[in-house]
């Protein structure tokens, strides 16, 4: 049982080999930063992805329905239907926005 406990301490990096916390931060504790990066990436993808169920693309285009604004990708947005905006469409949009 002692050998199993010693093995667990060595694998997790908590064994006191050269300092009280050196083994932890060199071993198991160094993975905490990677876990934070993966968690941040997952949060970003969850927040910025398309609101359509099952769509994995980033939702870059706002869409309002029943007073609620959703973010949809260009494939799921009903006004775009997969096409890209042209320069003329952007100019028309900005002119209409500036006139209000």
Residues 44 and 55 in one domain: no
- Assess whether 42 and 68 both reside in one domain: no
Residues 41 and 31 in one domain: yes
Closest CA to 73 of 48, 45, 42: 48
pLDDT tens for the chain, 100 residues long, are 888 887 777 667 666 666 666 777 777 778 888 999 999 999 988 888 888 888 888 888 888 888 888 888 888 888 777 677 777 877 787 787 777 6
Q: Determine the Cα–Cα distance for residues 16 and 67; give it in Å rounded to an integer.
A: 59
Q: Are residues 55 and 67 in the same domain?
A: yes
Residues 25, 58 within the same domain:
no
Residues 16 and 56 in one domain: no
Distance, in Å, from the CA atom of 93 to the CA atom of 100, rounded to the nearest integer, reads 11
Q: Are 62 and 28 within one domain? A: no
Q: Are 58 and 50 in contact (CB under 8 A)?
A: yes
* pTM, to two decimals: 0.51
The two three-digit tokens of residue 4, written as one number:
């199993």
pLDDT on residue 40: 94
Instruction: Determine the Cα angle at 75 with ends 72 and 81, to 5°.
Output: 105
Tokens of 32: 């905490």
Task: Look at the chain and count its residues.
Answer: 100
Tokens of 10: 């060595």
pLDDT of amino acid 41 = 93
Q: Which domain holds residue 9?
A: 1-48
| Domain co-membership, 28 together with 63 | no
**Number of domains the chain is built from:** 2
Which one of 48, 64, 80 terminates a domain? 48
Same domain, 33 and 65: no
61 and 72 inside one domain: yes
Are 63 and 32 contained in the same domain? no
Token pair recorded at residue 75: 């494939």
């Amino acid at each position: 049982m002692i050998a199993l406990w010693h093995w667990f301490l060595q694998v997790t990096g908590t064994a006191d080999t050269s300092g009280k916390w050196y083994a932890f931060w060199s071993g198991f504790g160094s993975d905490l930063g990677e876990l934070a990066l993966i968690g941040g990436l997952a949060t970003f993808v969850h927040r910025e992805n398309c609101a359509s169920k099952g769509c994995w693309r980033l939702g870059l285009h706002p869409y309002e329905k029943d007073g609620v604004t959703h973010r949809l990708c260009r494939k799921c947005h009903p006004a775009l239907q997969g096409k890209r905006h042209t320069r003329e469409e952007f100019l028309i949009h900005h002119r209409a926005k500036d006139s209000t």
